[in-house]
Structure 1
Amino acid sequence: MAFNGKYELQSQENFEPFMKAIGIADDMIEKWKGIKSVSEIVQTGDHFKITVTKGNKVIVNEFTIGEEMEVEGPTGEQIKALVIAEGDNKLVAKMQNIASVIEVIGDQLIITMTIGDIDFKRTNKRVV
């Protein structure tokens, strides 16, 4: 249950290039750039519920390891995704043309999303 907890965004790398690569408009990139987010993860066995709060927007995605599901993608549309576990502290997801790796390292939650040759990395610190 390495993932259970609440995490606050500390830093992010390649935010703008990644958002442009997935088709987010410049005005939305500017609006979202400074917003801090809080992610809460509840893991029950192979089932995960991830709630991300960005300002006044709340996104909730639930999934079970190894089962295809629909989640809200970065642009707000519903996309199919498949998540597999690699050990006790790493999840790997494939969603359309985006690869995502979520891992817990100590008290940090590191999320790296890749499209083409752009790696967008978010570093979050456990707060609860």
Structure 2
Amino acid sequence: MSFTGKYELQSQENFEPFMKALGLPDDQIQKGKDIKSTSDIVQDGNKFKFTVTIGSKVMTNEFTLGEEFEFTMPTGEKAKTVVQMEGNNKLVATVKGIKYVSELNGDVMTSVVTMGDLTFKRVMKRI
């Protein structure tokens, strides 16, 4: 299953408490919670390019499955991680104790980010 496509945010749960726990300032959290974000994903075999646009902020992460790369976190901080594929529709990575799981089912991608006992969930639809 190919992840390639453009996805638009449909819903999210626990955005504010999760971003606060990450250390984002309240003004950025308030701006970010009401903005519809989009994600452009290009998959070429084991190579991926994720471009996330939230308002005027654009973050890009490029990686090859199973190879270490520098990941840009929502705070702008960079950290090294490795992304693995589970099955043919789930991407999994752990960065600085935060677990990222993105699962594609048809045209819907669900991302669950877990830090300790706090979980942030985003549902995006291919457009």
Match of 2:8 in 1: 8
Please report how far the alpha carbon of residue 2 of structure 1 lies from its aligned counterpart in structure 2 after TM superposition: 2.2
Please report how far the alpha carbon of residue 94 of structure 1 lies from its aligned counterpart in structure 2 after TM superposition: 0.8
Match of 1:73 in 2: 73
Alignment of 1:25-44 (within 5 A): 25-44=25-44
Match of 1:125 in 2: 125
Residues in 2 aligned to 1:21 and 1:99: alpha-carbon distance in whole angstroms = 14
Q: SS where residue 83 of structure 2 aligns? A: strand
Deviations 1:74-127 (A, max 9, x none): 100111111100011000011112100011012101111110111100000000
The farther-off stretch of 59-68 and 25-34 is: 25-34
Of structures 1 and 2, the one with the larger relative CO (CA 8 A, separation 6+) is 1
Q: SS where residue 74 of structure 1 aligns? A: coil
Consecutive unaligned residues of structure 2, counting only runs of 5 or more, are none
The one-letter amino acid of 1:126's match is R
Cα RMSD (Å): 0.9
The farther-off stretch of 19-28 and 37-46 is: 19-28
Alignment of 1:71-110 (within 5 A): 71-110=71-110
How many residues in Structure 1 have an aligned counterpart in Structure 2? 127
Q: SS where residue 27 of structure 1 aligns? A: helix
Which runs of 4 or more aligned residues in structure 1 lie more than 2 Å from their structure 2 counterparts after TM superposition? none
What is the percent sequence identity of the aligned residues?
Answer: 59
Q: SS where residue 20 of structure 1 aligns? A: helix
Match of 1:18 in 2: 18
Q: SS where residue 24 of structure 1 aligns? A: coil
Match of 2:57 in 1: 57
The one-letter amino acid of 2:85's match is A
- TM-score w.r.t. structure 2 length? 0.96
- TM-score w.r.t. structure 1 length? 0.95
